[in-house]
Amino acid sequence: MSFNLSERNDTIIALATPQGVGAIAVIRLSGPDAIKVTNSVFHGKNLENQPSHTIHFGTIRDGDRIIDEVLVSIFIAPKSFTKENVVEISTHGSSYIINQVLKLFIRKGIRPAKPGEFTQRAFLHGQFDLAQAEAVSDLIHADSETSHQAALNQMRGGFSSEIQELRTQLIHFASMIELELDFTEEDVEFASRADLRRLVERLLRVVEELIMSFDLGNVIKNGVPTVIAGKPNAGKSTLLNALLNEEKAIVSEIAGTTRDLIEDEINLGGVIFRFIDTAGLRETTDVIEAIGVSRTQEKMKTASLILYLFDLSDTDLVEINRDINKLENLGVPFLKVANKTDKAKPNIINELKSMHPDTIFISAGKKENLEDLKARVLELVNLDKFRTGNTIVTNVRHYDSLVKTRESLLDILTGLDNQVTNDFVAMDIRRSLYYLGEITGEITTDDLLANIFSKFCIGK
Ligand SMILES: Nc1nc2c(ncn2[C@@H]2O[C@H](COP(=O)(O)OP(=O)(O)OP(=O)(O)O)[C@@H](O)[C@H]2O)c(=O)[nH]1
Ligand SMILES: [Mg+2]
């Protein structure tokens, strides 16, 4: 997909609400002819004489034929999302009506919008920068409170303004050093090398922090990976099903039922968790099961959280202690979950309570005490981290640019250490500026733009 200049100046149309039947649907137009062409098919007031930000009742007609009774909202350039003339037509939500209206406008010379074209126009007209435009897409796709918050912060410019400010300071140094290049004979120093070093070190700290926030951002977007692990028959699949309220995984009394990883998302208190049911951990001669077991072990290493499940009806405390020891060495936070309280061996619960007071006792089969388990899961992921208004990088493209920025910043420092000549320092600074600019869109190629906006849906 590419956009040429003439395409950027015509008037576009798309359905802005989801496909399918609803009470109402909103069709949006943007471009110089949006109001004029709408007026030519609208019966009611003369829309071309109306002030911006007003709503008008009337009918859309194809010749004499009434297609629908509608409400038309008018936004006059530049006071609109795209900074162009924008019209939003609220029709009744039938796909027949929507198609009739779209066809009518296309016959009148309006072009169907490409995916993300409304947002792209907003970006091209300076409504917001690229990082913010991408946040619009994240916002549309956000399905939990925390991912919504992260996208909202980014769209409001939290992320961008931080980058902008650092970039401005660095530009200042770049210009000073470039100036020195013009005075090489004189041996002057407009830009203090000590100040430059301090700025670069500060920049590095911010960039490092943003890079680190990416892991957290990823978790917010894709869910906290939470592995349910334990011996065969501990009740792992039963627990997954109970949490999901759905028979997702096969449950049976045969040890070694689950072989593949089975996963699904659950929203707990506004945070998305990705629960992963695994093959029971044991030595096995079954080739397929062995592959499952080794996948489980891999998955445990990369998890944010492990639920270590064991069976109260078939428990060996020595074995449990050995497993807990292994988990402690793995370094991933874990919860000790004792399952099958409904058929626990005598005394075992009291013994466990004194040995491991933090054990959570549940019955996955009878869905007992699951609320307690959920609460402990939430506690463990340290919600404060998720709820801060802090800047969080959630976008792979930004992460990439930040990593490259870090490299070039480190190059500046190495250059300063080795007292390289000015033109080398200037070059490294320019490189850092370039990568920082990539994030906010000051430096873009058409390919990059097309790539970003194509990820939107039509009508956005
Ligand atoms: N009484 C009782 N039985 C349970 C409970 N939870 C699970 N079970 C039973 O324990 C057996 C094993 O359950 P699964 O969920 O398949 O166990 P698993 O850990 O997934 O086993 P693998 O996939 O083989 O590793 C099944 O017969 C379940 O019905 C419980 O809380 N109480
Ligand atoms: Mg299973």
Q: Break the chain down into helix, strand, coil percent, rounded to 5.
A: 50, 20, 30
Indicate if 211 and 237 belong to the same structural domain.
no
Note if the bond before 32 is cis, omega within 30 degrees.
Answer: no
Report CA-CA distances (Å) from 423 to 12, 61, 290, 414, 416.
48, 67, 59, 14, 12
250 lines ligand 1 (CB under 6 A): no
Indicate if 248 and 375 belong to the same structural domain.
yes
Please name the residue whose Cα sits nearest to atom 21 of ligand 1: 233
Q: Is residue 134 part of a domain?
A: no
Residue 370 is which amino acid?
Answer: L
234 lines ligand 1 (CB under 6 A): yes
- The DSSP letter of residue 421 is -
Domains of the chain: total: 3
Which residues of the chain, if any, have pLDDT below 70? Answer: 1-8, 130-131, 133-160, 184-188, 190, 215-221, 270, 382-395, 441-460
How much is the pLDDT for 69? 96
How much is the pLDDT for 457? 64
How much is the pLDDT for 452? 58
Q: Is residue 268 part of a domain?
A: yes
Q: Is residue 368 part of a domain?
A: yes
pLDDT in tens, 139-188: 666 655 666 666 666 555 556 677 777 788 888 888 878 777 777 666 66
How much is the pLDDT for 331? 84
Q: Is residue 240 part of a domain?
A: yes
How much is the pLDDT for 277? 93
Contacts of residue 236, Cβ cutoff 8 Å, sequence gap at least 6: 228, 229, 230, 258, 277, 278, 280, 309
Kindly report the pTM of this predicted structure.
0.54
Give the whole-angstrom CA distance, residue 77 versus residue 100: 27
Indicate if 310 and 234 belong to the same structural domain.
yes
The residue from 369, 385, 401 where one domain ends is 385
Indicate if 275 and 375 belong to the same structural domain.
yes
pLDDT in tens, 18-40: 877 788 999 999 999 999 999 99
Give the whole-angstrom CA distance, residue 117 versus residue 37: 19
Indicate if 12 and 123 belong to the same structural domain.
yes
324, with CB counted inside 10 A (0-12, 13-18, 19+), is: middle
342 lines ligand 1 (CB under 6 A): yes
Please name the residue whose Cα sits nearest to atom 32 of ligand 1: 340
- Ligand 1 centroid–CA 257 distance in Å is 10
Number of the ligand 1 atom closest to the C-alpha atom of 255: 24
Indicate if 88 and 23 belong to the same structural domain.
yes
Residue 296's CB: how many other CB atoms inside 10 A? Answer: 23
- Best mutation site among 227, 239, 240, 251 for ligand 1 pocket (most ligand atoms within 8 Å of CB): 251
- Ligand 1 centroid–CA 228 distance in Å is 13
- CATH number of the domain that 272 lies in? 3.40.50.300
- CATH number of the domain that 402 lies in? 1.20.120.430
282 lines ligand 1 (CB under 6 A): no
259 lines ligand 1 (CB under 6 A): no
Indicate if 19 and 55 belong to the same structural domain.
yes
SS3 356: coil
The residue from 102, 128, 154 where one domain ends is 128
Number of the ligand 1 atom closest to the C-alpha atom of 364: 31
- Ligand 2 centroid–CA 280 distance in Å is 7
- Ligand 2 centroid–CA 229 distance in Å is 9
SS3 281: coil
Please name the residue whose Cα sits nearest to atom 9 of ligand 1: 235
Indicate if 302 and 354 belong to the same structural domain.
yes
Q: Is residue 459 part of a domain?
A: no
Indicate if 415 and 276 belong to the same structural domain.
no
- CATH number of the domain that 118 lies in? 3.30.1360.120
Q: Is residue 460 part of a domain?
A: no
Indicate if 282 and 412 belong to the same structural domain.
no
Instruction: Enter the tokens of residue 245.
Output: 């309220």
Give phi and psi for 48, each to the nearest 5.
-70, -15
Indicate if 153 and 191 belong to the same structural domain.
yes
Number of the ligand 1 atom closest to the C-alpha atom of 362: 31
Indicate if 377 and 398 belong to the same structural domain.
no
In terms of DSSP H, where are the helices of 158-249? Answer: 158-182, 193-222, 236-244
List the domain range (segments joined by +) for residue 21.
5-128
Q: Is residue 338 part of a domain?
A: yes
296 lines ligand 1 (CB under 6 A): no
278 lines ligand 1 (CB under 6 A): no
Give the whole-angstrom CA distance, residue 164 versus residue 131: 11
Q: Is residue 133 part of a domain?
A: no
The residue from 128, 153, 170 where one domain ends is 128
How much is the pLDDT for 209? 79
